Amino acid sequence: MVRWSGGLDTRSFGWLAIFWINAPLGAAMVVAVRRTVEHGGALRSSARSARERIDVAGLVLSAVGLSALVFGLTQASVYGWTSVRLWVILAVAAAALAGFVMVERRVAAPLLDLRLFRRPNVLAGTCSRW
């Protein structure tokens, strides 16, 4: 009797077979999204207007801020913690993320509704390690 394992599918079908597990999962996600999300990104049960626009400023600021933060933290061992270059990168990250928070407080359809952090469950789940 042969047991199913990661080794069985790679022996039988080659190592590329490990990526085929994503095909049924992806198809299930497409079906789930089509059933729950309207065109434009609003949930079907939501009262959001189809005229709401994408928060481009929030999108750009979050991408710049998070990218700079991750880059700065991963390159700290390369540049050294006393490097001016590293601190400039981290300052860019801090400024972009602060700008993101300011934009999200004022925009009509934010990427991240900051009121979400007023809920104890969300706050405990995201900040429990701090």
Give the tens place of pLDDT for each residue, 71-96.
Answer: 999 999 999 999 999 999 999 999 99
Average pLDDT along the chain = 81
| Residues 89 and 37 occupy one common structural domain | no
**SS3 breakdown of the chain: % helix, strand, coil, rounded to 5?**
70, 0, 30
CB atoms near residue 107 (< 10 Å): 15
| Residues 37 and 80 occupy one common structural domain | no
- Residue 51 in this model has a pLDDT that exceeds 60: no
More confident residue, 34 or 88: 88
| Residues 19 and 63 occupy one common structural domain | no
Residue 1's pLDDT is what?
Answer: 46
Q: Which two tokens stand for residue 32?
A: 């789930």
| Residues 65 and 27 occupy one common structural domain | no
Give mean pLDDT, residues 10-16. Answer: 73
Q: Which two tokens stand for residue 48?
A: 């959001």
Write the DSSP symbol of residue 59: H
Residue 113's pLDDT is what?
Answer: 84
Range of the domain at 66: 53-130
Using a pLDDT cut of 70, give the percent of the chain over it.
76
Give mean pLDDT, residues 44-64. Answer: 73
- The closest alpha carbon to 38, from 23, 25, 57, 51, belongs to 51
